[in-house]
Chain A
Amino acid sequence: MTSTARVPDHLDDDGLQTVTLTVNGSERTVAVPTHRTLLDGLRDEVGLPGTKSCCAEGECGACTVLLDGKSVNSCLVLCVEAEGHQVTTVEGLSDDGLTDLQEEFLNAGAVQCGFCIPGQVVSAEYLLRTNPEPDEVQIREALSGNLCRCAGYQRIVRAVQATAARRSER
């Protein structure tokens, strides 16, 4: 992302920068200080608190979103860097109801406290879009940046496998 970052050419009177980005398909314009992360922008300015904050340093994956279809830790992206880009949050994965992946998370017993789950779901969705039939090692590798202290890891792997199987049957 850094390579595409735009240095703000002007700030408004409060030192805020206007950013226009597409979130879950709708164009949104927010005014944020330049140091505001995409994570905080999504939660506080766009009003989508489904994306969670934990470590704020790119180590836990709780804040995972898709940026132009690619999974990123939104705590490591500045809001201003997202100018003109497409962001998909957990809220935007489906228009209504749960996705097959979210259903399988539930079916597998992968959801305990739930705090890491939005990030897990987004990371797993990204994996399945880029590798529709991952084996167990690939699943573990792809999700290794998403911590779950309730440690539903094995359940999450099962959920991803079940979703892949469901999608391949379609």
Chain B
Amino acid sequence: MTTAPERAIEQRDALGEPSDPYPQGQVGRPVLRYGGGDRTSGAQRFVADLRFPGSLQVALVTVPVGCADVLGIDTTAARAVPGVVDVVTAADLPSPMPRFGVSHTDRPVLADGRVNYHGEPVAAVVAKTLDAAQAAARAVRVDHRELPGVYTLDDALAPGAHRVQEPSLRPGHALADTNVLEEAHYAWGDLEAEEARTEVVVEETYTFPMVTHFPIEPGGTVAVPTDSGGLDVYSPVQHPYLLQRTLASVLGLPLNQVRVFAPDPGGGFGGKQNPKLEPLLAFLALRTRRTCRLVLSLEETFQSMRRAGCRIAARTGFTADGALTFHHVDADFLIGAYADVAPRVMGKGSYVAAGPYRIPGVRIDARAVMTNTTPSTAFRGFGSPQVSWALESQLDAGARRLGLDGLEIRRRNLVAKGEAFVRGESAAAADGEWHQSLEKAAELIGWGTPLPPGRGRGIAVGIKPGATSGLSQSLVRLLADGSAIVYAGTSDMGQGARTLWQQIVADELGAPLDQVSVVSGDTGTVPFDLQTSASRSTVFMGSAVLEACRDVRQRVLALYAESTGVPPEELEERPGVLVTPEGELPLPEAARTALGSLRGEFIGQGTRRLRGKGKHPLGGDAAFYEFNATAIEVEVDRETGELLLTRHVTVSDVGTELNPLQVVSQDEGAAIMGLGHSQMEQLLLDEHGRIRNLGALDYRIPTFKDVPVELVSAAVENHDGPGPYGSKGISEGALLCTAGALGAAVADAAGVVIRDLPLTPERVWAAIQAAEAAQ
């Protein structure tokens, strides 16, 4: 019987040529997940599993509306609860209130006189037990006056609307007096001239819901004051070094006094990138001089992270033979009460609002619109799924008008490798053979073959810019016995980064796989890594690890020459070996000889730096693009509106699969997550700005039963990525265009076009009813 990884490989082989840069090596093999044993046995320690004897528990105090002035806070009753150590309000924190944020320094440590979204803490209770903390939190009296908060795009953009942000936070900014936080504009070509030669114009408006990350690990923070006046902070954060910098800055401490331990996140998906409640915990720990611990409930997690909703009005032109002539987009991103990274989501998402297509005339106007809602943040796809939903639907609408099918219209417009799809000052060209993914997806879905009645197919493509600047540093220690330790600051939140470092080091230094260990998640011992986001780690940290291995080999060569007297120019280092005049020596052996009886070790350092470009609207050219083609076959139940996905194919352009098993896991996971926002997920607010479906009971994410009957993940490998061995990032591709493919499949199956996500049974049913009534 074959093992599962062997079968995964066979599956992959049957779908295309797998690559293998080192046929004997570990790279390219389905190596099992580093740390996987602990993750299945229950031994893995997430932040809530760490024990801090004597620690104090924290509970947050909120008000039951989305927007309010805080008139007074009475903590008397709360302080009287046995076990309560401290009750902290804005008045107890430095004045002016310290603020933080990655794009705007706008987020207060605690609400400062004004609650801007439902769930924003106005006070925190610190107590000896969680029961006491929670009881005291309920006993805090917050006298507040509800304000006419803005919860929708229309509310926020209406004349005279309540302003979410204090204008003083954006002094001198032209938009400071509006709810528009930032705008982005991209344009090229002559739209009027293009329209003049256009045969068919499609003009429609699309909406994409607010959705929440719903990591199964809600997360939390523990802050431990140190004897030297600093802090150790434990948080399952994707960017430990950003958290370190943020805390140092709000506390006025040097970086070395803030040590961030980042236990592996139990799912991040972007939601655990940026600091949220950690600064509050830091202040509590410094005030009480005690360890303070806060573990979030799932409801609190919903209130601390979400994806920006979006409304996109699009006008798109086609020639009679289906060539795109122009595309004009107005995209309003519904962001939250604080900026977080939302302006960048808007700017980067809308940058690719014209997709991977050859369009001579384009105009994109996008806005990040603040509302009194949970601050939206990075979420797998980073703005691309929103704009892709509109664009892919527009392509299918054009195709239907022209009598073309979804595959053909994409064939005619998709750019070839090297061809520009963004033109003008900040141009970008295709960095992959993207047609291959499209064709492979079509082939694997059986495009064009007959279907039973009630079934339909759709196909769509999506792109997302990778990181536009970055810095990853790594250390690799080759120890005297040939084993190795890698220090790499990437957060391993499920993508399996550490497995790749292990594979790379095993091949590059000739160490057995199980003798390579990886240290991460501690800013006190592991060198700097800018962030774990944008599917960058394979490319950035992977390159840094690769370079650190080369550095180790060069040091082995130099010391070997010194120890043995062989002139260095007669030696050569290669992956896994030192070539000597007598022949190839396995690197561990050469290292042993070089180190001699004193032993010791070799320490290699690697850095991968991508400097941004000052003038580029994204801050620089993307290091790579994630490209994906998705094809879906669906059966629509006309009586209930329910969708049965009979086949779902995702094909990602991955450069090189360093670990096919992990590629498949990530790709399938992204595909199903994409089905979440396409089919069922949406945060619903009431008139007070409260999330109505707050929690797992009412907010549905895909389960085992929602997985398509057949789910096929395939890859295109041309070894054309900038990462090690020609790799690219791959973790987001499969959800970029899920919605477009599903929408097209539903239209094909049921003859109804729906422009609002998610495609719930109610919506599909209503559309079918409306279509039947119209006949």
Which A residues have a C-beta under 8 Å from some C-beta of B? 33, 43, 48-57, 59-60, 62, 89-91, 94, 98, 102, 104-118, 121, 139-141, 143-159, 162, 165-166, 169
Contact = CB atoms under 8 A, between A and B. Distances in A.
Nearest to B43: A50
Contact of B42 (A50, A56, A108): A50
Nearest to B46: A115
B198 to A, nearest CB: 41
A111 B34 CA distance: 10
Nearest to B665: A109
Given A60-B696, A102-B41, A150 B267 contact: yes
B213 to A, nearest CB: 8
B673 A154 contact: no
B612 interface: no
B42 A118 contact: yes
Query: Which of A89, A111, A155: most chain B Cβ within 10 A?
Result: A111
Given A54-B298, A56-B298, A155-B668, A109 B216 contact: no
Contacts of B364: none
Contacts of A91: 41-43
Given A50-B43, A151-B673, A165-B1, A144 B703 contact: yes
A121 B166 CA distance: 50
Contacts of B4: 104, 107-109, 158-159, 162
29 contacts: A54-B696, A59-B695, A60-B216, A90-B42, A102-B40, A106-B32, A106-B40, A108-B8, A111-B33, A112-B494, A112-B496, A113-B215, A113-B217, A114-B35, A114-B36, A114-B44, A115-B215, A115-B266, A115-B267, A116-B216, A140-B705, A140-B707, A144-B704, A147-B216, A149-B215, A151-B669, A158-B4, A166-B1, A169-B1
A73 to B, nearest CB: 11
A55 B696 CA distance: 6
Contacts of A33: 131
Contacts of B218: 53-54
Shortest 7 CB-CB contacts between residues of A and residues of B: A50-B42, A115-B266, A114-B39, A113-B494, A112-B494, A151-B672, A59-B696
Interface of B: 1, 3-5, 7-8, 30, 32-33, 35-46, 48-49, 131, 213-218, 264-269, 297-298, 493-496, 661-662, 664-666, 668-673, 695-697, 701-705, 707, 711
Given A51-B42, A109-B664, A114-B44, A147 B701 contact: yes
Contacts of A107: 3-5, 32
Given A33-B131, A144-B705, A149-B269, A115 B41 contact: no
B298 A149 contact: no
A153 B494 CA distance: 14
Contact of B216 (A43, A57, A115, A121): A115
Nearest to B215: A149
Contacts of B673: 149, 151
A102 to B, nearest CB: 4
A57 B696 contact: yes
Contacts of B697: 55, 57, 59
Contacts of A166: 1
Contacts of B48: 49, 53
B665 A149 contact: no
A113 to B, nearest CB: 3
B704 A146 contact: yes
Contacts of B704: 139-141, 143-144, 146, 153, 156-157
A150 B214 CA distance: 10
Contacts of B494: 112-114, 150
Nearest to A148: B216
Contacts of B664: 109, 155
Query: Which of B131, B664, B696, B701: most chain A Cβ within 10 A?
Result: B696
Contacts of A121: 40
B294 to A, nearest CB: 14
A105 B32 CA distance: 10
B721 to A, nearest CB: 21
A159 B1 CA distance: 14
Contacts of B493: 113
Contacts of A98: 37, 40-41
Contact of A150 (B32, B298, B669): B669
Contacts of A50: 41-43
A117 B40 contact: yes
A109 B131 CA distance: 39
Contacts of B265: 113
Given A114-B40, A151-B671, 9 more contacts: A54-B216, A56-B297, A98-B40, A113-B494, A115-B216, A115-B266, A145-B703, A147-B216, A154-B711
A129 B35 CA distance: 27
Contact of A152 (B214, B269, B669): B669
Nearest to B713: A154
A51 B35 CA distance: 17
Nearest to A112: B494
Contacts of B266: 52, 113-115
B663 to A, nearest CB: 9
Contact of B495 (A48, A112, A157): A112
A9 to B, nearest CB: 22
A14 to B, nearest CB: 10
B40 A149 contact: no
A125 to B, nearest CB: 11
Query: Which of A121, A147, A166: most chain B Cβ within 10 A?
Result: A147
Nearest to B664: A109
